[in-house]
A and B are shown apart, each in its own frame.
Chain A
Amino acid sequence: MKANKLARFAVVGHPNKGKSSIVSTLSHNDDVVISSRSGTTEKAESITVDTANGGYQLIDTPGFQRPVKVLRWLHEQGANASERAKVLEKFVHDSDCQKQFPDEVELLKPIVNGAAILYVVDGSHPYGAEYEAEMEILRWSGQPSMALINPIESVDYVDEWKSALLQYFKSVQVFNPMKADFEKQITLLKTFSHLNSAWSDALQNTIGDLQVQRQQQLEQSIALLSRLVEDLCEHRETQKVLTPSQAEKIKPMLEKQYHHWMRERETQAVRELMAIYGHFQSDVVAQQIDLPPDLFDCGQWFIWGLDKKQLVYAATATGALGGAALDAAVAGSSFMLGALGGGLIGASSAWFGADKLADLSVQGLPVGGYEARLGPIKNRNFPYVVIGRFIHLHAQISQRSHASRDALALDANDFQQRVQNLEKSTQRELHQACERLIKQRPVDNLESILTPLFN
């Protein structure tokens, strides 16, 4: 039942006009081969987007190679308008045509079998009359169709194309698969639902499912960040040594291991974040994850975390809260000195400890010898830095088109502004959570505390 109603779209057009990119973007699948070389797609390849209550199929097809000759062959069959679809079917099944025009046979086969047509052109270069042969062939099929103008490099010739395409297609849309974010993709899917009324309900259900899926992706991203920030804040490197002086000697090695582990852990989280959004082919993880600035470049931390003023405010607020608990415990007989003192201690430790990283400690072991321990990190800004960097990456990855294979270009974002924009109570919760994290205390509702930062 579901299969019968499955909307099918054959993405056709000239070679190298972004057909595979459109399939990749609309299927949220970056495994579709996109090549600068024309003729990469030699066989029609179906990609099914399967959702809980619907789905659709996109068929990536080879580009037209000999449209003029094919149209000539079709005309030679001497068919009238009512017979043209059958002639096209004959063309697809004719063994001579299969040998002479393999690309056209391959691209027309799904259309003959009932797929709707998505005809793709490049809006950054002038229209040419040579395109008319292939548009005419597609018109012979009588299938529902839509033209997509892909402004690959510019929008200079979009209008020119639009007026030409409207003579062959009822619906013409401008769609750049490399830049289309989720909302634009959904908008395009909504227009698809008008192509064939039989597919309308299924496509509407699919859109609903995709939006639910989007929410799940967001929730998983938050859970991922929650685990990452906890792991990074609690991590320690240890090494057994014979004497305390030996521990001092191996400190540089421990520091190296510690930093390596932290960086790799962050890289792993980014890779998983990309996997949540279905990106597996991008360079960002392999080469570009050395985010500017580096995770341990404390001098640049304020770009990613909180600035010094915000940090002092956060520490004061959480310190005062702890002191206020003391005041409450003694029923106010401390004259609120607890809150005042807690706030002052918090503020001063935030100010003076702003550049403090992880300490080395040496502990005696019950069975003899010592254990040198590096970490966990002491810097109050560290959890904010981790959160800030992750949120910035999330904003980029979640909006990244699946057709894009470029490495991510990463710049500092507005994390401090995001924190500033939170409700005061939410801000306080965040500061308290970060305070607990830096003290290696578990935060049960960390995910719900982090959620407002993603909105």
Chain B
Amino acid sequence: MTDSEITSAAQNDISQTVRMSPAIVCAGMLLGFLLSFVLLNGDAQGRVNLFYLLLVFLLFPLLGLITSVLSMVSGKGVNLARIVSKLGFLGVSRSSVLRQLRQRHLDKHWFFLQSQFAMLAYSLAGILTLLILLVATDINFVWRSTILTANDIYPWLKGIASPWWFWESAQPSVELLERTQDSRLTQLYESPANLALWWPFILATQIFYAFLLRGMLLVVSRSIIKHRLKSDFEQQLKQRIQQNPRRQPEHFELSEVRHQLPSTYAVINWSALPEAIVAQLDEVAGQPRLVAGPLASEKEQTQAEQYAEYKLVLVKAWEPPLGELHDFLQHGQGFIYPVNYHQHTVRNAEQKHLKEWRRFCSELHNWQLFQPAAATTLRGDDERSATRDGEGTA
């Protein structure tokens, strides 16, 4: 497995955290089915207390929602995610993901998200159970109270039903309340069909307070986790690494180095090497001299350019070739001799400097690079270091 594969594998694991955990969803759904079924089955006559339904389908989900949001926002309370991460049955990969989430301070968010999935499953199971039982059996919605009257309860129910004001049949009414009030002593109902009329209200309560609100929280918490994962500094570093791929090493064509000179040639001290240095060069002795270079006059330069025989151009080895020299070398033919010196003594040119001159010469037709034969022995050592640079030779 390569490094990038490990990196992406780790990232994939984390990105999976925004998906639902099947075990948690199944647990929520099972609880929803059981609780709804027990509750909606009612007593022997199929009577179901409206208040109990509101307790399970409205109050519990709302309280749970408020508690988890407050806990999330304040960051206080027991970190259930950490407890979950220590459970043995989770497996290595899940534990690893939870560790990564904890490192990014997202373990609580993950647990919050999973609890939204669980509650969604819970409410979906409740809705399904209600619908199935509505089809398969008779559910009689009643309410009982010792001290409350229909007029007392109505404003509360009206408030609860306000989010679905557009759904007429799911709105409570005083008349319906009066018709569905139950007493365990008197069981006389003018019209038993009225007892079923509460089902749209109960269904709407489930859909809005349990399903929709949790769904909204799920979307919000998912986007928070996604955003936090994306803005995590490690994730951004990975992106920067991808955006800055490594460059390939350069490869140049290099000319060969000559160690022999013709018998006659004119010497040009192009780089204005000190005379004391030029005097140390055996190759200069007895040869005619021409003047050219940055410090030469135009007349001298022209004369040097027009010289038709071989020329030996002395240059400072450490200075890279400039355009001025390139222009001059368009005329005539000969050799370029990079000279190195230190404290008034001639030294062998360094390989890294020679390489630059070799590259330069490879682009010239009538010019070759010259180095005295004695210098090659030392250069042999440097050649090895050149190979390490990854640069090719001609």
Interface residues of A (CB under 8 A from B): 14-16, 31, 33, 35-39, 63-69, 103, 122, 125, 128-130, 133, 156, 220, 223-224, 226-227, 230-231, 234-236, 238, 260-261, 264-265, 267-268, 271-272, 275-276, 280-281, 286, 373, 442
State whether B99 touches A236 (Cβ < 8 A).
Answer: no
Q: Using an 8 Å CB-CB cutoff, how does the interface string of B232-251 with A read, 1 for contact, 0 for none?
A: 01100110110011110010
Nearest Cβ on chain A to B302's Cβ, whole angstroms: 13
* CB within 8 Å for A223 and B316 given contacts A66-B327, A271-B241: no
Question: At the interface, yes or no: B47 with Cβ under 8 Å from chain A?
Answer: no
Given contacts A63-B320, A264-B3, 4 further A-B contacts (CB under 8 A): A33-B247, A122-B318, A261-B6, A442-B82
State whether B320 touches A129 (Cβ < 8 A).
Answer: no
Nearest Cβ on chain B to A36's Cβ, whole angstroms: 6
Contact pick for B250, options A14, A37, A63, A230, CB 8 Å: A37
State whether A238 touches B92 (Cβ < 8 A).
Answer: yes
Residues of A within 8 A of B323 (CB): 65-66, 103
* CB within 8 Å for A65 and B322 given contacts A38-B356, A230-B103, A286-B246: yes
Q: Using an 8 Å CB-CB cutoff, how does the interface string of B119-145 with A read, 1 for contact, 0 for none?
A: 000000000000000000000000000
Contact pick for A130, options B96, B295, B321, CB 8 Å: B295
Residues of A within 8 A of B324 (CB): 65-69
The 9 closest A-B pairs by CB, nearest first: A65-B323, A38-B320, A280-B244, A130-B294, A16-B320, A275-B237, A272-B237, A68-B294, A15-B320
Nearest Cβ on chain B to A120's Cβ, whole angstroms: 13
State whether B252 touches A128 (Cβ < 8 A).
Answer: no
Residues of A within 8 A of B252 (CB): 37
Which residue on chain A has the smallest CB distance to residue B326?
Answer: A65
Residues of A within 8 A of B355 (CB): 36
Residues of B within 8 A of A261 (CB): 1, 6
25 contacts between A and B (CB under 8 A): A14-B320, A14-B322, A16-B356, A36-B250, A36-B356, A37-B250, A37-B359, A63-B322, A66-B322, A68-B295, A125-B318, A128-B271, A129-B272, A130-B271, A130-B272, A133-B294, A220-B233, A223-B233, A226-B103, A261-B1, A264-B6, A265-B6, A268-B7, A275-B241, A280-B244
Residues of A within 8 A of B321 (CB): 38
Residues of B within 8 A of A231 (CB): 99-100
State whether B322 touches A15 (Cβ < 8 A).
Answer: yes
Docked Cα-Cα span, A16 to B252, in Å, equals 16
State whether A281 touches B295 (Cβ < 8 A).
Answer: no
Residues of B within 8 A of A373 (CB): 92
Docked Cα-Cα span, A238 to B88, in Å, equals 14
Nearest Cβ on chain B to A134's Cβ, whole angstroms: 10
- Residues of B324-349 contacting chain A, CB below 8 A: 324, 326-327, 342-343
Docked Cα-Cα span, A226 to B321, in Å, equals 51
Docked Cα-Cα span, A317 to B271, in Å, equals 71
Which residue on chain A has the smallest CB distance to residue B277?
Answer: A126
Residues of B within 8 A of A36 (CB): 250, 352, 355-356, 389, 391
Docked Cα-Cα span, A343 to B260, in Å, equals 80
State whether A37 touches B356 (Cβ < 8 A).
Answer: yes
State whether A128 touches B319 (Cβ < 8 A).
Answer: yes
Question: At the interface, yes or no: B379 with Cβ under 8 Å from chain A?
Answer: no
Nearest Cβ on chain A to B389's Cβ, whole angstroms: 8
Question: At the interface, yes or no: B293 with Cβ under 8 Å from chain A?
Answer: yes
Docked Cα-Cα span, A66 to B293, in Å, equals 11
State whether A35 touches B250 (Cβ < 8 A).
Answer: yes
Question: At the interface, yes or no: B102 with Cβ under 8 Å from chain A?
Answer: yes
Nearest Cβ on chain B to A245's Cβ, whole angstroms: 22
State whether B320 touches A227 (Cβ < 8 A).
Answer: no
Residues of B within 8 A of A265 (CB): 6
* CB within 8 Å for A130 and B293 given contacts A226-B103, A268-B7, A280-B246: yes
Residues of B within 8 A of A236 (CB): 92
Residues of A within 8 A of B245 (CB): 280
* CB within 8 Å for A224 and B99 given contacts A37-B250, A125-B318: no
Residues of A within 8 A of B240 (CB): 275, 280
Docked Cα-Cα span, A174 to B103, in Å, equals 45
Which residue on chain A has the smallest CB distance to residue B244?
Answer: A280
Residues of A within 8 A of B322 (CB): 14-15, 63-66
Docked Cα-Cα span, A223 to B237, in Å, equals 13
- Residues of B301-326 contacting chain A, CB below 8 A: 316, 318-324, 326
Contact pick for B241, options A15, A220, A280, CB 8 Å: A280
Docked Cα-Cα span, A103 to B241, in Å, equals 33
Q: Which of B316, B320, B323, B324 has the most CB of A within 10 A?
A: B323
Docked Cα-Cα span, A126 to B197, in Å, equals 103
Docked Cα-Cα span, A400 to B356, in Å, equals 27
Residues of B within 8 A of A38 (CB): 320-321, 356
Docked Cα-Cα span, A325 to B92, in Å, equals 32
Q: Using an 8 Å CB-CB cutoff, how does the interface string of B3-31 with A read, 1 for contact, 0 for none?
A: 10011000000000000000000000000
Nearest Cβ on chain A to B311's Cβ, whole angstroms: 19
